[in-house]
């Protein structure tokens, strides 16, 4: 039985193929809150995610937000979930991947554009500290959310090794490591679906 075949009164589907950014975070969170404000009863969120990553800070925020949702949450890796997208994906209670999907993890990075043209040693130290804290937080999320799920789970030492060298997991590896429950091809819905894409986000202010 597909995860989508499970009975539920009200299901909201979200297609998300966008970089993880502050704008994407705000749109995702804002949409969920708007449904509650409009009095809509949602029993389950199903998110079809494909992303190359983005802001590690927004990723941690989204992880905590999704974990706090009282509804049932399901995520599908629709092709590639990499970098900052991994903790977002791992926040969901049920996780699946389409055939041929992959997950990529690596050390936390940030764009040079967030740094001023002139920067002091103390400011550099602050930025390095922020990256280190987010690095540890993201590794802790991966360790926690994959623990006990796969037949060949990631140990803390092994995860650190994969993290430092940068590693891509295939669909079968992702299953044995606990990223996903199984490889499964969903049937896309014809209604109750919203789209969060790089193109749609570009039309919004901010």
pLDDT tens digit sequence for 117-171? 667 777 777 776 777 888 899 999 999 999 999 999 999 999 999 999 999 999 9
Strands 102-105 and 167-170: antiparallel
The full set of domain ranges for the chain reads 8-202
Cα 54–57–62 angle (5° rounding)? 90
Cross-strand pairs, 195: 15
Close Cβ partners of 169 (under 8 Å, ≥ 6 residues apart) = 102, 103, 104, 105, 177, 179
DSSP β-ladder status, 44-51 and 72-82: parallel
pLDDT at 114: 62
Query: Can you give the pLDDT at residue 6?
Result: 52
CA neighbours within 13 Å on the CB side: how many for 89?
A: 37
Say how far residue 148 (Cα) sits from the centre of its chain.
Answer: 19
Q: Which CATH architecture has domain 8-202?
A: Alpha-Beta Complex (3.90)
């Amino acid at each position: 039985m597909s995860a989508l075949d499970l009975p539920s009164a009200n299901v909201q589907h979200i297609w998300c193929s966008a970089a993880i950014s502050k704008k994407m975070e705000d749109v995702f969170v804002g949409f969920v809150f708007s449904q509650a404000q409009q009095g809509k009863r949602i029993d389950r969120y199903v998110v079809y995610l494909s992303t190359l990553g983005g802001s590690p800070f927004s990723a941690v925020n989204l992880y905590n937000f999704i974990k706090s949702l009282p509804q049932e949450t399901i995520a599908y890796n629709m092709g590639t979930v990499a970098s900052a997208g991994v903790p977002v994906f791992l926040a969901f209670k049920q996780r699946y991947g389409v055939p041929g999907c992959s997950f990529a993890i690596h050390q936390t990075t940030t764009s040079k554009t967030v740094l001023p043209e002139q920067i002091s040693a103390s400011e550099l130290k602050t930025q390095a500290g922020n990256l280190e804290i987010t690095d540890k937080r993201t590794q802790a999320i991966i360790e926690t959310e994959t623990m006990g799920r796969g037949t060949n789970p990631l140990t803390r030492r092994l995860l650190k090794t994969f993290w430092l060298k940068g590693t891509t997991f295939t669909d079968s590896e992702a299953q044995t490591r606990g990223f996903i429950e199984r490889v499964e091809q969903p049937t896309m819905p014809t209604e109750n679906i919203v789209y969060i894409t790089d193109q749609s986000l570009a039309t919004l202010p901010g």
